[in-house]
Amino acid sequence: MRLRFPMDNQRVADMSLIDETGERYVRMAGLACVGSSHINGVARLHTQLLKDQVLKDYHCLWPDKIINITNGVTPRRWMGVSNPKLTALITEAVGEDWLNNMEKLSDLEPFADDASFREKWYQIKRGHKEQVASLILKRFGFVVDPDSMFDVQVKRIHEYKRQHLNILHLISLYWRLKNEPDFDMVPRTFIFGGKAAPGYFMAKLIIKLITSVAEVLNSDPVTRDKLKVIFRPNYNVTIGQIVYPMADLSEQISLAGKEASGTGNMKFAMNGALTIGTLDGANIEIREEVGAENFFLFGLTAPQVFELKQSGYHPLDIYHSNDRLHAVIDLIEFGHFSHGDRNLFKPLLDSLKFNDEYMLFADFQSYIDCQQKVNAAYADKEKWLKKSIKTVARMARFSSDRSIREYCGRIWQIKPVEVLSG
For residues 332 and 294, the answer to whether their CB atoms sit within 8 Å is no
Same domain, 143 and 211: yes
For residues 362 and 315, the answer to whether their CB atoms sit within 8 Å is yes
Q: What one-letter code names the amino acid at 71? A: N
Same domain, 37 and 144: no
pLDDT of residue 308: 98
Residue 219 burial by Cβ neighbours in a 10 Å radius (0-12, 13-18, 19+): exposed
Please give the Cα distance from 75 to 72 (Å, whole number).
9
- Mean predicted confidence (pLDDT) in 12-20: 93
Of the candidates 416, 403, 395, 292, which has an alpha carbon nearest to the alpha carbon of residue 78?
Answer: 395
pLDDT in tens, 157-188: 999 999 999 999 999 999 999 999 899 999 99
Convert 368-387 to b/e letters by CB count within 10 Å (16 or more is b).
bebbeebeebbeeeeebbbb
Same domain, 24 and 167: no
Same domain, 360 and 379: yes
Domain boundary among 47, 67, 87: 67
Same domain, 310 and 375: yes
- Mean predicted confidence (pLDDT) in 216-225: 94
> Whole-prediction pTM value?
0.95
- What is the β-pairing status of strands 249-252 and 274-277? parallel
pLDDT in tens, 58-93: 999 999 999 999 999 999 999 999 999 999 999 999
In a domain, 160, yes or no: yes
Domain boundary among 32, 50, 67: 67
Band (20; pLDDT cuts 50, 70, 90): confident
- Mean predicted confidence (pLDDT) in 289-315: 97
- Mean predicted confidence (pLDDT) in 289-307: 98
End-to-end CA distance of the chain: 56
CATH number at residue 220: 3.40.50.2000
Residue 337 burial (CB count, 10 A)? 24
In a domain, 209, yes or no: yes
Same domain, 264 and 216: yes
pLDDT of residue 140: 87
pLDDT in tens, 228-273: 999 999 999 999 999 999 999 999 999 999 999 999 999 999 999 9
- Mean predicted confidence (pLDDT) in 292-318: 97
Proportion of the chain above pLDDT 90, given as a percent: 94
Range of the domain at 21: 9-67
Average pLDDT of every residue of the chain:
96
Check whether 422 has a pLDDT greater than 80.
Answer: no
Same domain, 56 and 79: no
In a domain, 297, yes or no: yes
Same domain, 92 and 215: yes
Of the candidates 104, 161, 207, which has an alpha carbon nearest to the alpha carbon of residue 357?
Answer: 161
Domain boundary among 19, 42, 67: 67
Check whether 49 has a pLDDT greater than 80.
Answer: yes
Same domain, 166 and 198: yes
In a domain, 28, yes or no: yes
In a domain, 4, yes or no: no
Band (124; pLDDT cuts 50, 70, 90): very high
Check whether 150 has a pLDDT greater than 90.
Answer: yes
- What is the β-pairing status of strands 149-154 and 18-19? unpaired
Same domain, 233 and 367: yes
In a domain, 175, yes or no: yes
Please give the Cα distance from 254 to 181 (Å, whole number).
33
In a domain, 416, yes or no: no
Please give the Cα distance from 118 to 381 (Å, whole number).
10
Q: How many domains does the chain have?
A: 2
Same domain, 61 and 139: no
Same domain, 142 and 88: yes
Q: How far is CA 383 from the centre of its chain?
A: 23
Bridge partners, 297 (sequence order): 277
Phi, psi of 295 (to 5 degrees): -140, 130
In a domain, 91, yes or no: yes
Check whether 421 has a pLDDT greater than 90.
Answer: no
SS3 per residue for 406-421 = HHHHHHHCCCCCCCCC
pLDDT in tens, 323-336: 999 999 999 999 99
For residues 292 and 267, the answer to whether their CB atoms sit within 8 Å is no
Q: 36-39 long-range contacts, Cβ below 8 Å, gap at least 24?
A: 36/65, 37/65, 37/411, 38/65, 38/66, 38/67, 38/410, 38/411, 39/65, 39/66, 39/67
pLDDT of residue 230: 96
